[in-house]
Amino acid sequence: MKKSRLLAFVLLSFALLSFAWVPATISAHEHLLSPDRILTVAHRGASGYAPEHTLASYKLATKMNADYLELDLQMTKDGHLIVMHDETVDRTTNGTGWVKDLTLAEIKQLDAGTWFNEANPDRQNANYIGQRVLTLDEVLRYFGKRENYYIETKKPDLYPQMEEKLLAALKKHHLLGKHTRKGQVIIQSFSQDSLLKLQKLAPRLPKVQLLDRTQMTSITDDQLDFIKTYAVGVGPNFRALTPENVQQVRSHGLLLHPYTVNNETDMTRLLQYGATGLFTNYPDVFQRVKASL
């Protein structure tokens, strides 16, 4: 073999070998909806450390560099969308009653942080006392286009026009349409009807079908084919996941973001199965897990 050919052969062999030795890495450069991007979704904010759905919780999530702030929506008696998980204010404020029976002014009187200090004495913080319930509008105004939002329509059957109001809020804050990052807002719901309605109203807005444990355990290829017609992914209860059903979902070209995963062992296992991100109350823990892979 001529010297130059031998040199070329050696260089090519090195190139191929070094390519093969590159460890699998999690890309942070792909767009948000890329299956190669692993997303940290701050579930109700950094809600393991601060009262859920409050400004304190969302600010902490942004400090932890979460990819998304997760918001659950409820609607007040006078038609305002607020960010709250439950249909009543009882668990997460010092008030009582159904959100649908209270006006925004009444809900704004409530303390949405003291309960956290009482429930988590080891994580209590004086700053949490007097945190207020936030409207969707307030969250979007405060964080603007700097952040990405993963928004759940909760109990849409209970709240007329929830989807229209959500879209109006996104439009007002320039988070709908061509001036947004790809995937800057994802809409999630357990309600297929709500997602189908949104698909008609805003077909380009990415949607994720949430699945409870029973639904995920019994999911069929036909159901996944149908979900694929209106959603970019599914958000299943993580306890229902196996290597097989994760691959089944992924083989349909769907993203997979399990909820709500709070310990490192589960996080690592789910990434090994092929999850493309997850909801967690501890975004810092998942960031560490991602960095260690």
Which positions lie near ligand G3P, rule CB under 6 A? 43, 72, 85, 152, 188, 210, 235, 259-260, 279
Residue closer to Ca ion, measured from CB, 152 or 284:
152
Least Å from the CB of residue 72 to Ca ion:
5
Dihedral angle of Cα 159, 208, 55, 179, to the nearest 10 degrees: -100
Count of Cβ atoms closer than 10 Å to residue 161 Cβ: 12
Alpha-carbon span 21 to 160, nearest angstrom: 56
152 contributes a contact to Ca ion by CB under 5 A: yes
Residue closer to ligand G3P, measured from CB, 84 or 176:
84
Alpha-carbon span 203 to 224, nearest angstrom: 18
Of 273, 265, 256, whose CA–CA distance to 289 is shortest?
265
Least Å from the CB of residue 188 to Ca ion:
7
The residue length of the chain stands at 293
Rg of the chain over Cα atoms, rounded to whole angstroms, equals 22
Q: Is 43 a catalytic residue?
A: yes
Least Å from the CB of residue 44 to ligand G3P:
7
Residue closer to ligand G3P, measured from CB, 176 or 211:
211
Q: Is 173 a catalytic residue?
A: no
Alpha-carbon span 102 to 86, nearest angstrom: 14
Angle at which helices 264-273 and 243-251 pack, to 10 degrees? 50
Least Å from the CB of residue 81 to Ca ion:
14
**Contact letters for Ca ion, residues 111-150 (x by CB under 5 A):** ----------------------------------------
Amino acid sitting at position 113: G
Centroid of chain to Cα 138:
19
Q: Which stretch binds Ca ion (CB under 5 A): 48-56, 72-80, 167-175, 178-186?
A: 72-80
Out of Ca ion, ligand G3P, none, which partner does residue 210 contact, by CB within 5 to 8 A per kind?
ligand G3P
The residues, any chain, with a CB within 8 Å of residue 13's CB and separated by 6 or more, are none
Which of 53, 80, 85, 257 is catalytic? The answer is 85
Query: Which sequence positions are flagged as catalytic?
Result: 43, 85
Binding residues vs Ca ion (CB under 5 A): 72, 152
